[in-house]
Amino acid sequence: MAVSLDMGSVASVVDDARRGFVEQFGGEPTGVWAAPGRVNVIGEHTDYNDGFVLPMAIDRACYAAAAPRADRILRVHAAQLGETVELSLDALVGPGSAADTRDAADPDMTPLTEPAVTGWAGYPVGVAWILQQAGFPVRGADVYLTSTVPVGSGLSSSAALECATALALAGVSEFELTTAELARHTQRAENIYAGVPCGPLDQMSSAFGQDGSVLFIDTRSGEVKPQPFDLAAENALLLVIDTRVSHAHGENGYADRRSACERSAEFLGVRALRDISLADLPESFAKVSVGLGETFARRVRHVVTEDARVEQFVEILHQEPVSLPRLGHRMMQSHASLRDDYEVSAPELDLAVATAVAAGAHGARMTGGGFGGSAIALVDRDLLPDVQDAVLAAFAEHGYTEPQFFPAVASAGAHRIA
Ligand code: GLA
């Protein structure tokens, strides 16, 4: 079975976005902006602990065709949903509105109690809101969004949507956003407006993505160091296995893990779990076990060991020749830790990982927040059909929904595309 590449060429998606804009709004868009989804290669649930992550942007993206308007209306149409949201930008600020007095430098990420819109529309509208809050002169605009990032698959379709919307609004309003500003403001839109307590991983991946590279990100300093990731040279690829179990039901689990980490850090007297080293871990584990309970201690152990695995993975990437089995081994350790210590995996993810490896993958792991979504497997090209067939057969045998496969190709971050 071939790897499915049903995204169509970029040019045809851009054409679709333009055509869709004309049909929806009349008139021509003045530009089209694209922002990718991501896979996180390793470093999971470390980003809100000030730790390390190693994501890459993928060649599936959200496309925003947009044009400015003469008035203060913002209209956003989501092609995949067939829905439009329309509101005045002036309703997003000012006395009595949900915008109140926050400013963009405020580290507080408490969600608004009464955002003007909720559901999918909270994402693009939240972006307009935060940009205005940060003092950018957002103009009225029509924005047509279409996306090749599967929703609910743990590949950051929402970060792609936010970054594409932010760039489109900046483009039509004629102001500049640096890459760091793009990542920061879109994360805050998601935290505060959409009310999702995510860390910086997804938006930074979409903003900073680079062709052919994974991004080693220190989420405390915000430093991004692209690392070469040329799997084609090794006759290998990173296969995405989308279990098609939506990760959305894990929202409470995510918030629960995040608060467990924050409580543990406070208990240990550190700013964030990033500050616990591997050498400190046995002592910290024992203290947290006694003080907060063994579950908390296991959460701490995941974060501390995962940070170390990211650094080890990067070291292996710099060795000549790169050892795929060693990379795969770190992925397996990461998955086991997420499954057993952090408890954010799902039976479908565990099955995808175990089956891919039994069929010859060098390693595999869940990627993203977990509770569903996608796994990734590091596979030699000649074993790709075996791995896919084995995973398909195992899912069928368990009565699970048929998974979808596609290769993750390290791609450019958000940019104007037309
Ligand atoms: C989700 C969040 C990210 C990150 C990952 C787990 O994707 O949006 O901020 O915490 O989960 O690594």
Q: Is 256 a catalytic residue?
A: no
Q: What is the CA radius of gyration of the chain?
A: 21
Helix H or strand E segment including 130? helix 122-133
Q: Does residue 162's CB lie within 6 angstroms of at least one atom of ligand 1?
A: no
3-state secondary structure of 218: strand
How remote is the CA of residue 62 from the centroid of ligand 1, in Å?
18
3-state secondary structure of 373: coil
258 Cα nearest atom in ligand 1: 10
Q: Does residue 250's CB lie within 6 angstroms of at least one atom of ligand 1?
A: no
Q: What pLDDT, on a 0 to 100 scale, did the predictor assign at position 3?
A: 41
- Cβ atoms < 10 Å from Cβ of 320: 5
Residue ID of nearest Cα to ligand 1 atom 11 = 369
What whole-number distance in Å separates Cα of residue 393 and Cα of residue 389?
Answer: 6
Helix H or strand E segment including 390? helix 384-398
Q: By the 8 A CB rule, do 299 and 342 touch?
A: yes
Q: Name the H helices within 250-343.
A: 251-268, 281-291, 294-317, 324-340
Residue ID of nearest Cα to ligand 1 atom 8 = 198
Q: Does residue 54's CB lie within 6 angstroms of at least one atom of ligand 1?
A: no
What whole-number distance in Å separates Cα of residue 167 and Cα of residue 154?
Answer: 22
Confidence check: pLDDT of 95 > 60: no
- Of 202, 242, 307, 341, the catalytic one is 202
Q: What's the rounded mean pLDDT across residues 165-186?
A: 98
218 - beta bridge partners?
Answer: 52, 223
Q: What's the rounded mean pLDDT across residues 123-136?
A: 95
Q: What pLDDT, on a 0 to 100 scale, did the predictor assign at position 309?
A: 98
Q: Does residue 241's CB lie within 6 angstroms of at least one atom of ligand 1?
A: no
How remote is the CA of residue 152 from the centroid of ligand 1, in Å?
13
Share the mean pLDDT of the chain. 94
Confidence check: pLDDT of 221 > 80: yes
Q: What is the pLDDT of residues 325-383, one digit of tens each?
A: 999 999 999 999 999 999 999 999 999 999 999 999 999 999 999 999 999 999 999 99
How remote is the CA of residue 201 from the centroid of ligand 1, in Å?
6
How remote is the CA of residue 416 from the centroid of ligand 1, in Å?
26
Q: What is the pLDDT of residues 386-417, one digit of tens each?
A: 999 999 999 999 999 999 999 999 999 999 99
Dump the DSSP string for 11-54: HHHHHHHHHHHHHHHSS--SEEEEEEEEEEEE--S-GGGT-EEE
Q: pLDDT band for position 106 (50/70/90)?
A: low
46 Cα nearest atom in ligand 1: 12
Q: Does residue 45's CB lie within 6 angstroms of at least one atom of ligand 1?
A: yes
β-pairing, 141-147 vs 83-88, is unpaired
Helices 281-291/251-268 angle, 10° precision: 110
How remote is the CA of residue 44 from the centroid of ligand 1, in Å?
7
201 Cα nearest atom in ligand 1: 9
Provide CB contacts within 8 A for 290, sequence distance 6+: none
What whole-number distance in Å separates Cα of residue 33 and Cα of residue 36?
Answer: 10
110 - beta bridge partners?
Answer: none
Residue showing tokens 């543990």 = 264
What whole-number distance in Å separates Cα of residue 309 and Cα of residue 208?
Answer: 22
Q: Does residue 368's CB lie within 6 angstroms of at least one atom of ligand 1?
A: yes
More confident residue, 96 or 109: 109
Q: By the 8 A CB rule, do 89 and 138 touch?
A: yes
| pLDDT cut 90: percent of the chain above it | 89
- Cβ atoms < 10 Å from Cβ of 128: 27
What whole-number distance in Å separates Cα of residue 146 and Cα of residue 207?
Answer: 18
159 Cα nearest atom in ligand 1: 8
Q: Does residue 150's CB lie within 6 angstroms of at least one atom of ligand 1?
A: no
How remote is the CA of residue 134 from the centroid of ligand 1, in Å?
24
What whole-number distance in Å separates Cα of residue 396 and Cα of residue 154?
Answer: 22
Q: Does residue 202's CB lie within 6 angstroms of at least one atom of ligand 1?
A: yes
**What are the backbone dihedrals phi and psi of residue 393, each rounded to the nearest 5 degrees, phi first?**
-65, -40
Q: What pLDDT, on a 0 to 100 scale, did the predictor assign at position 249?
A: 64
Q: By the 8 A CB rule, do 58 and 229 touch?
A: no
Q: What pLDDT, on a 0 to 100 scale, did the predictor assign at position 248?
A: 74
Question: What are the Cα distances from residue 409, in Å, to 7, 69, 183, 376?
Answer: 13, 36, 21, 12
Q: What's the rounded mean pLDDT across residues 164-168?
A: 98
Confidence check: pLDDT of 4 > 60: no
Q: Does residue 199's CB lie within 6 angstroms of at least one atom of ligand 1?
A: yes
44 Cα nearest atom in ligand 1: 12
Q: What pLDDT, on a 0 to 100 scale, did the predictor assign at position 184?
A: 96
How remote is the CA of residue 113 from the centroid of ligand 1, in Å?
23
Pocket test for ligand 1, best of 38, 47, 203, 251 (most atoms within 8 A of CB): 47
Confidence check: pLDDT of 104 > 60: no
Q: Does residue 373's CB lie within 6 angstroms of at least one atom of ligand 1?
A: no
Q: What is the pLDDT of residues 42-94, one digit of tens each?
A: 999 999 999 999 999 999 999 999 999 999 999 999 999 999 999 999 988 64
Q: What pLDDT, on a 0 to 100 scale, did the predictor assign at position 282?
A: 98
What whole-number distance in Å separates Cα of residue 214 and Cα of residue 57?
Answer: 8
Q: What's the rounded mean pLDDT across residues 92-102?
A: 50
Q: By the 8 A CB rule, do 248 and 152 touch?
A: yes
Residue ID of nearest Cα to ligand 1 atom 2 = 198
